[in-house]
């Protein structure tokens, strides 16, 4: 076969240069036709749309045509032509075809029909080859790019914070241990505990739950930084919104108070959504149709807003800002509370808000994204700035429709004495965390930051409903396949 430089499907469809000779390589989605002419739908991951290859059957070897099955990898030389078929402007009139990789049609699990998302999760090594996961993969890439664009344009520096750590940033104790000790016969201390001083790092270590504490160290010199890394939580939450390994974006800013922090969170999330609207429209249209198809059986009031309309709605409207205490009041006066419909009852100040409460506020009460502030100190992490009332901290959670909490953040406690007192009260290892406390001794300033769960944002932007479908290889309890 003659060597011609390969073109991507997306470029051929976009440029539509009729008469040009091209080479394309990709995977066959379908082949149909008769003994005179065959139509091959080819996809190479660059577009939600397939490229139609037209092969005049008599011109090709019969054995070759038979090998062009769903899933096979082929290379095609041909001429771009105007297409008379519906759904595409151009197609390729094939002059030569090579099969690069055969695909045994009897064993190939992906048939040219609709498969359930559950089934596709079981064959996650192949699900990139479906329209849905192709679209999600491209949108995810664009969103990653947008994160760096946004912060770089604003003068924030990207910091790589450690993945292996000896501190528990959230103080929730939901960490995966990292060790090279022999699990069958670990060294013991005199007291009979495992002796981690003999472990690889000379102390006990874990996978990080958050890059925030190290991020703060950088912010208190560089002014504005962000981390974007994998984070790990060993919480046994088998929900559609929790992963054991997820990616988090954590900006940290010196000289920002809670209002500045909220402004940034709102601007950032709107930028991200707008970026998707401006750069991923074809994939969003596909995902929107997919969602509408999925919801056909539902009653009108249970259907979600059309995806693109929903994204525009968030970009165009101000988020509601209110305090936790105000939210509790709304919840206590709500119908589901009075009728005992909440699975977790709300018991006034001090109750931790569950996803059902967050979604009530966002979806039923305000019908807009909501930023809740000033939570009880008792239910939030040790590092949050304490308010003068002695019972709340300057926390903020951003709540989104269909998602609930998408961002958690706060102004940080900048007073050495107050921070130390809180760490003591919570029995945190203040000696080992001397480096964190040092920032409050050497030029401490008011500062703030937050963490955005990247997959939660992906859920919102793609309209997918299970977090395991917006990360290529999900990690959740009892699930670390692939
Ligand atoms: O609210 P979280 O626990 O906050 C922190 O970790 C802070 N250190 C962030 C900061 O201030 N720098 O987590 C932040 C966000 C949540 O709002 C949620 O979107 C996401 O991370 N998240 C998860 N996403 C998927 N699976 C999980 N198990 C998650 N836990 C939290
Ligand atoms: Mg949180």
> Per-residue DSSP letters for 299-314?
-GGGSPPPHHHHHHHH
Specify the pTM.
0.96
Q: Find out whether the beta carbon of 233 lies less than 6 Å from any atom of ligand 1.
A: yes
Q: Tell me, what's the pLDDT at 12? A: 97
Residue 81's SS3 state is strand
Distance from Cα 433 to the centre of ligand 2, integer Å: 22
Residues counted in the chain: 482
Separation CA 405–CA 452 (nearest Å): 9
What distance in angstroms lies between residue 20's CA and the mean position of ligand 1's atoms?
A: 51
Give SS3 for 111: coil
The per-residue pLDDT for 168 is 83
pLDDT at 209: 96
Q: If we measure between CA atoms, which residue out of 137, 138, 115 comes closest to residue 473?
A: 137
Return the pLDDT at 1: 80
* Ligand 1 probe mutation, 209, 219, 247, 248, most atoms within 8 A of CB: 248
Residue 401 is predicted with a pLDDT of 93
What is the C-alpha to C-alpha distance for residues 39 and 180, in angstroms, rounded to an integer? 56
Question: In degrees to the nearest 10, what's the CA dihedral of 54, 55, 56, 62?
Answer: -160
In this structure, the residue with its CA closest to atom 23 of ligand 1 is 453
Tokens read off for 245: 């390994």
Q: Which atom of ligand 1 is nearest to the CA of 169?
A: 8
pLDDT of residue 171: 78
Ligand that comes closest to the CA of residue 384: 1
Element housing 153 (H / E): helix 131-153
Does ligand 1 have an atom closer than 6 angstroms to the CB of 249? Answer: no
Centre of ligand 2 from the C-alpha of residue 406, in Å: 8
Helix or strand (DSSP H, E) at 142: helix 131-153
CA distance 169 to 201: 19
Is any ligand 1 atom within 6 A of the Cβ of residue 169? yes
The Cα–Cα gap between 252 and 213 comes to 9
Ligand 2 centroid – CA 396 distance (Å)? 9
Candidates 94, 18, 91; CA nearest to 56 is: 94
DSSP H stretches of helix in 7-49: 9-15
Concatenated DSSP letters of 177-238? EE--S-TTS--B-TTSSB-GGGSTTSS-EEE-S-SHHHHHHHHHHHSEEEEEEEEE------
Q: What sign does the dihedral 140-7-14-130 (CA atoms) show?
A: negative
Atom number, ligand 1, closest to the C-alpha of residue 252: 12
User: CA-to-CA distance for 117 and 134, rounded, in angstroms?
Assistant: 13
pLDDT at 176: 97
**CA separation for the pair 59, 55 (Å, rounded):** 8
From the CA of 210, how far away is ligand 2's center (Å)?
A: 11
For the record, the structure tokens of 464 come out as 């997918």
Largest CA distance in the chain: 85
d(CA 217, CA 181): 31
Q: What's the gap in Å between 232 CA and the centre of ligand 1?
A: 10
Ligand 1 contacts CB of residue 260 (under 6 A): no
Q: Residue 456's pLDDT is what?
A: 98
Residue 327, pLDDT score: 98
CA 91 to ligand 1 centroid distance, Å? 46
Ligand 2 centroid, distance to 421 Cα (angstroms): 22
For residue 170 and ligand 1, the question of a CB distance below 6 A is answered with yes
pLDDT (tens, 9 = 90+) of the chain, 482 residues, equals 889 999 999 999 999 999 999 999 999 999 999 999 999 999 999 999 999 999 999 999 999 999 999 999 999 999 999 998 787 899 999 999 999 999 998 999 998 889 999 999 999 999 999 999 999 999 999 999 999 999 999 999 999 999 999 988 887 779 999 999 999 999 999 999 999 999 999 999 999 999 999 999 999 999 999 999 999 999 888 899 999 999 999 999 999 999 999 999 999 999 999 999 999 999 999 999 999 998 888 888 788 889 999 999 999 999 999 999 999 999 999 999 999 999 999 999 999 999 999 999 999 999 999 999 999 999 999 999 999 999 999 999 999 999 999 999 999 999 999 999 999 999 999 999 999 999 999 999 999 999 999 999 999 999 999 999 999 999 999 999 99
H or E element: which one contains 419?
helix 416-425
Report residues near ion ligand 2: CB below 5 Å: 408
Which residues, listed in sequence order, are joined to residue 231 by a DSSP beta bridge? 246
Q: Is any ligand 1 atom within 6 A of the Cβ of residue 212?
A: yes
Q: Is 219 in the pocket of ligand 1 (CB under 6 A)?
A: no
Burial tier of 480 (Cβ tally within 10 Å: 0-12, 13-18, 19+): exposed
For residue 381, give the nearest of 415, 411, 358 by alpha carbon.
Answer: 411
Which ligand lies nearest the alpha carbon of 212?
1
253: its two tokens = 């800013």
Are 54 and 37 in contact by the 8 Å Cβ rule? The answer is yes
Residues 6+ apart with CB under 8 A from 215: 159, 161, 225, 226, 227, 250, 251, 252, 449
């Amino acid at each position: 076969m003659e060597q011609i430089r390969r073109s991507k499907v997306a470029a051929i469809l976009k440029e539509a240069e009729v008469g040009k000779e091209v080479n394309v390589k990709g995977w066959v989605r379908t082949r149909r036709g008769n003994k005179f002419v065959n139509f091959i739908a080819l996809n190479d991951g660059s577009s939600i749309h397939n490229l139609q290859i037209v092969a005049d059957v008599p011109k090709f070897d019969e054995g070759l045509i038979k090998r062009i099955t769903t899933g096979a990898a082929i290379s095609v030389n041909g001429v771009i032509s105007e297409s008379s078929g519906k759904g595409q402007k151009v197609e390729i009139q094939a002059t030569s075809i090579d099969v690069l990789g055969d695909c045994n049609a009897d064993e190939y699990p992906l048939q040219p029909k609709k498969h359930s998302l559950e089934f596709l999760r079981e064959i996650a090594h192949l699900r990139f080859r479906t329209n849905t996961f192709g679209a999600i993969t491209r949108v995810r890439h664009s969103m990653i790019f947008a994160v760096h664009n946004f912060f770089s344009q604003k003068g924030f520096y990207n910091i790589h914070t450690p993945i292996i750590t000896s501190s528990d940033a959230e103080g929730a104790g939901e960490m995966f241990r990292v060790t090279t000790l022999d699990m069958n016969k670990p060294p013991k201390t005199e007291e009979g505990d495992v002796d981690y001083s003999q472990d690889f790092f000379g102390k006990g270590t874990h996978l990080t739950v958050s890059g925030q504490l190290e991020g703060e160290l950088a912010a208190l010199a560089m002014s504005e930084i962000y981390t974007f890394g994998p984070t790990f939580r060993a919480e046994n939450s088998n929900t559609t919104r929790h992963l054991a390994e997820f990616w988090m974006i954590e900006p940290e800013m010196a000289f920002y108070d809670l209002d500045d922090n909220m402004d940034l969170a709102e601007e950032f999330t709107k930028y991200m959504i707008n970026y998707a609207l401006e750069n991923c429209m074809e994939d969003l249209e596909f995902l929107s149709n997919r969602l509408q198809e999925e919801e056909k059986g539902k009653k009108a009031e249970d259907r979600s807003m059309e995806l693109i309309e929903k994204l525009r709605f968030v970009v165009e409207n101000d988020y509601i800002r209110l305090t936790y205490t105000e939210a509790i009041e709304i919840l206590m006066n709500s119908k589901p509370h009075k009728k005992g419909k909440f699975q977790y009852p709300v018991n006034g100040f001090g109750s931790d808000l569950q996803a059902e409460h967050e979604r009530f506020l966002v979806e039923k009460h305000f019908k807009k994204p909501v930023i809740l502030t000033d939570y009880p100190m008792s239910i939030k992490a040790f590092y949050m700035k304490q308010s003068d009332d002695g019972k709340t901290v300057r926390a903020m959670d951003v709540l989104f429709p269909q998602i609930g909490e998408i961002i958690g953040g706060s102004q940080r406690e900048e007073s050495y004495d107050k921070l130390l007192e809180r760490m003591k009260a919570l029995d945190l290892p203040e000696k080992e965390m001397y480096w964190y406390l040092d920032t409050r001794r050497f030029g401490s300033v008011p500062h703030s930051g937050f963490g955005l769960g990247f997959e939660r944002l992906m859920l919102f932007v793609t309209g997918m409903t299970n977090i395991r479908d917006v990360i290529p290889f999900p990690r959740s309890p009892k699930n670390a396949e692939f």
